[in-house]
Chains A and B, each alone.
Chain A
Amino acid sequence: MMRKISYGLLAVAMAVTMVSCVNDDTDMDDIIAQYMVEPASIDLDYSDLAEVADVPVTDENDSAYNDYVENTTWNKVININYAGDAVTVTGSVPGVTLQADGAHVTVLNMSGPVKFVVSGATTDGSLKFYGDKRFQILLNGAEITNPHGAAINNQGSKSLYVVLADGTVNRLQDGETYAMVEDEDQKAAFFSEGQIIFSGRGELDVIAVGRGGIRSDDYIRVRPGARISVNSSALDGLRANDGIILDGGVVNIQTTGTGAKGVRSGGPMTVNGGRLVAISTGDTRLGVTDEGDADTTACAALYCDTLLTVHAGVLKLKATGDGGKGLNGKGNMDMRGGSMTVVATGTREIKKSKGVKLDGNLGITGGSFYTYSRLSDPLEVAGTMSVAPGYVTYDHEVRVITISYPGF
């Protein structure tokens, strides 16, 4: 009897031992999968551009009327053709004087609207404009490198229409150091005090090694058909003090400098169409304030000081450096349509790398919105966030937020 009991106990012990094979860890698979999710792929956009041409505003009272080069008659034409260290100028317009120092051309335009057709190539040249008259630059296969400053510098405050001749590839590059002129700005390889309106069906490539890529102290507008690429190893890629309007075209921006922004809009930015890809790979810049305090400036693929409105188009924003933001908005963001993909994959040694960081409010009523951050919040909204009903996808995970409406 006793033996049977003993053997029974032993058998029970062996049986329990045999079944003790369950892992008692917390099931973390799904949670870790959320942290290890791979972001959407963002690369520069070299795909075909088959956009329908926009229809120029014809109402003279419309604030955008003057942004259309078609609304001006351009019968005053001057041709500027670069050839190495020399330049050939043909055509003359009363009130317009041109001076050439080697391939460095200075234009004083006291006339009305003048069209400058620029072509040829130089590795030590530039094109500089003075005068408060609106004018047009038709880039017709121009390649201008200025080792000492901006390749194109417009000191006038009126509209500058940059038309990219159909099928042409144009290239501008600045130098590492700028030879400054007193009381004059030159903040980028392509700098303008006034607004710049890009149109045409050609291509413009800007390489910035000293300062920014394209910069206006007013606003910048890009119309359908234009292909613009900026590669900046120094400061911001595309920057406008008073706002940016993207109606169409393809804009590829790549910046590698510390603290640099791919696209920076000091005023309202409106996206009505087109495709914008901005990739910022720089780390946070360490500096010192005037008071001697430590100061840090993080990179961002897109930095907007005020309202960002997206009606249509495609925005792809990626920041890969330490503390880099995909989108850093100081104001509100209003997403009504289009597609926005934001990815932040940077480390957070100095600052946190975030997908979208907004100091204002976020309202989403249409389109497709995706934001990802590898190490931090994919979305940080200091104000209120509202997502209108009607969405087909609203996924909020640890590292990814996806919201989309029908049709996207």
Chain B
Amino acid sequence: MARSKRKQLISCLLALCAAFIPTSSLADDAGLVVSAEASHKFTKQLSAGFEVEFRSRNDFRTADRVSLGPSVTYKLLPWLKASADYNLLIDNNREDISYHEDESYNNWRPSYWGVRHRFNVSLTASHKIGRVEVSLRERWQYTYRPSRVIDNFDFDESMWEDHEVRGKGKNVLRSRLQLDWDIPKCKFDPFASVEFHTTRELEKTRFIVGVEHTIKKTHAFKAYYRYQLTGSSSDEPNIHLLGLGYTYKF
């Protein structure tokens, strides 16, 4: 019986993956997300943690981001929890090339490493339907990018010049709907989610399918596939991401 359900689950996951793949294009990127988190439950309601994450892009060949920061979660109600976290983002910003109307080069800003500060405040409501838990998370995300001066090659002037990336803040509303399955006698708990990042327009959509495996309630591992669609106003390509995470609970 358990084996049959497992097969069904795998079939479902494959079907979900297959559903996303046609929407991707040949120009899509691929990368990896690796994270490690340590968390501690102080009371039944309150827990806190610290997470480090690494991302790559360019078909796994280029480092994209390193982030780290603490988080705190408080269970307001059995079905509702609130959380807040801060992340220091260290980004490898992609290069930027601009062209003239005649397609000749105008400016080239090489990739550069920069820092951003991110604050998240979230509310997550969840409800169990049989073996499936449905959760909806609404997150307000504020990210501040400090100003800094970087190199820029101006082809019109045939010279390198200083280019100021101005500091700016950005607010994003992230809405995520997630399903978590609890399969009896199965050590892998699958999950799937869809998340929308919205500013004045839809900037990103993330589709995730994955499994989580917990050992003695202390060590939790998860592996997932994420497909991220970017909005038309973004220069970033769509990206396929393989995610691997580890959480240590104490």
Contacts of B223 in A (CB 8 A): 9
A20 to B33, CA, bound (A): 12
A35 closest partner in B (C-beta) = B158
Given contacts A16-B32, A20-B32, A20-B61, A28 and B54 within 8 Å (CB-CB): no
Choice from B32, B57, B97, B155 contacting A13 with Cβ under 8 Å: B32
- The answer on a CB contact under 8 Å between A12 and B158 is no
- The answer on a CB contact under 8 Å between A24 and B105 is no
- The answer on a CB contact under 8 Å between B56 and A17 is yes
- The answer on a CB contact under 8 Å between B159 and A36 is yes
Chain A contact residue count (CB 8 A cutoff): 27
Determine how close the nearest CB of chain A comes to the CB of B220; give it in whole angstroms.
Answer: 9
Query: Which residues of chain A from 3 to 35 have a CB within 8 Å of any chain B CB?
Result: 3, 5-6, 9-10, 12-14, 16-17, 19-26, 28, 31-32, 35
Scoring A3, A5, A24 by chain B CB atoms within 10 A of each residue's CB, the highest score goes to A24
- The answer on a CB contact under 8 Å between B95 and A25 is yes
- The answer on a CB contact under 8 Å between A16 and B215 is no
A399 closest partner in B (C-beta) = B158
- The answer on a CB contact under 8 Å between A24 and B244 is no
Q: Does A375 contact B (CB under 8 A)?
A: yes
- The answer on a CB contact under 8 Å between B110 and A36 is no
Q: Does A261 contact B (CB under 8 A)?
A: no
Instruction: Flag B235-250 by CB within 8 Å of A: 1 or 0 each.
Output: 0000000001010000
Contacts of B64 in A (CB 8 A): 20
Query: Which residues of chain A from 31 to 48 have a CB within 8 Å of any chain B CB?
Result: 31-32, 35-36
Q: Does B201 contact A (CB under 8 A)?
A: no
Instruction: Flag B45-62 by CB within 8 Å of A: 1 or 0 each.
Output: 000000000101110111
Given contacts A9-B223, A17-B56, A22 and B158 within 8 Å (CB-CB): no
Given contacts A2-B215, A12-B244, A17-B34, A374 and B221 within 8 Å (CB-CB): no
* Size class of the B contact interface (CB-based, 8 Å): 20 to 34
Contacts of A31 in B (CB 8 A): 105
Determine how close the nearest CB of chain B comes to the CB of A76; give it in whole angstroms.
Answer: 60
A94 to B108, CA, bound (A): 77
A19 to B244, CA, bound (A): 16
Determine how close the nearest CB of chain B comes to the CB of A142; give it in whole angstroms.
Answer: 46
Q: Does B187 contact A (CB under 8 A)?
A: yes
Determine how close the nearest CB of chain B comes to the CB of A28; give it in whole angstroms.
Answer: 6
Instruction: Flag A241-275 by CB within 8 Å of B: 1 or 0 each.
Output: 00000000000000000000000000000000000
- The answer on a CB contact under 8 Å between B111 and A6 is no
Choice from B108, B153, B156 contacting A375 with Cβ under 8 Å: B156
Contacts of A24 in B (CB 8 A): 57-58, 61-62, 94-95, 111
Query: Which residues of chain A from 343 to 397 have a CB within 8 Å of any chain B CB?
Result: 374-375
Q: Does B63 contact A (CB under 8 A)?
A: yes
Determine how close the nearest CB of chain B comes to the CB of A149; give it in whole angstroms.
Answer: 43
Q: Does B157 contact A (CB under 8 A)?
A: yes
- The answer on a CB contact under 8 Å between B221 and A32 is no
A399 to B159, CA, bound (A): 13
Given contacts A2-B215, A35-B158, A36-B159, A21 and B63 within 8 Å (CB-CB): yes
Contacts of A13 in B (CB 8 A): 32, 34, 244
Determine how close the nearest CB of chain A comes to the CB of B28; give it in whole angstroms.
Answer: 14
Determine how close the nearest CB of chain B comes to the CB of A300; give it in whole angstroms.
Answer: 21
Contacts of A375 in B (CB 8 A): 156-158
Q: Does B213 contact A (CB under 8 A)?
A: yes
Given contacts A3-B215, A13-B32, A16-B32, A26 and B244 within 8 Å (CB-CB): no
Q: Does B219 contact A (CB under 8 A)?
A: yes
Choice from B61, B158, B215 contacting A374 with Cβ under 8 Å: B158
Contacts of A374 in B (CB 8 A): 158
Instruction: Flag B94-117 by CB within 8 Å of A: 1 or 0 each.
Output: 110100000001001011000000
Determine how close the nearest CB of chain B comes to the CB of A116; give it in whole angstroms.
Answer: 52
Choice from A2, A12, A28 contacting B108 with Cβ under 8 Å: A28
- The answer on a CB contact under 8 Å between A17 and B54 is yes
Choice from A2, A19, A21 contacting B213 with Cβ under 8 Å: A2
A25 to B113, CA, bound (A): 13
A22 to B64, CA, bound (A): 10
B31 closest partner in A (C-beta) = A20
A374 to B156, CA, bound (A): 9
Determine how close the nearest CB of chain B comes to the CB of A30; give it in whole angstroms.
Answer: 12
Given contacts A2-B215, A9-B223, A23-B111, A32 and B153 within 8 Å (CB-CB): yes
A31 to B158, CA, bound (A): 11
Contacts of B108 in A (CB 8 A): 26, 28, 32
A31 to B246, CA, bound (A): 44
Q: List 19 A-B contacts (CB under 8 A).
A: A3-B215, A5-B213, A6-B213, A6-B221, A9-B221, A10-B244, A12-B244, A13-B32, A13-B34, A17-B54, A19-B61, A20-B60, A20-B63, A21-B62, A22-B62, A24-B57, A26-B97, A26-B108, A28-B110
- With contacts A22-B58, A26-B95 known, what are 15 further pairs, Cβ within 8 A? A2-B215, A5-B213, A6-B215, A9-B223, A10-B221, A12-B244, A13-B34, A20-B61, A20-B62, A24-B111, A25-B110, A25-B111, A35-B155, A374-B158, A399-B158
Closest 9 CB pairs of A and B: A20-B56, A22-B61, A24-B58, A13-B244, A13-B34, A6-B221, A35-B158, A24-B62, A25-B95
Q: Contact residues of B with A, CB < 8 Å?
A: 32, 34, 54, 56-58, 60-64, 94-95, 97, 105, 108, 110-111, 153, 155-159, 187, 213, 215, 219, 221, 223, 244, 246
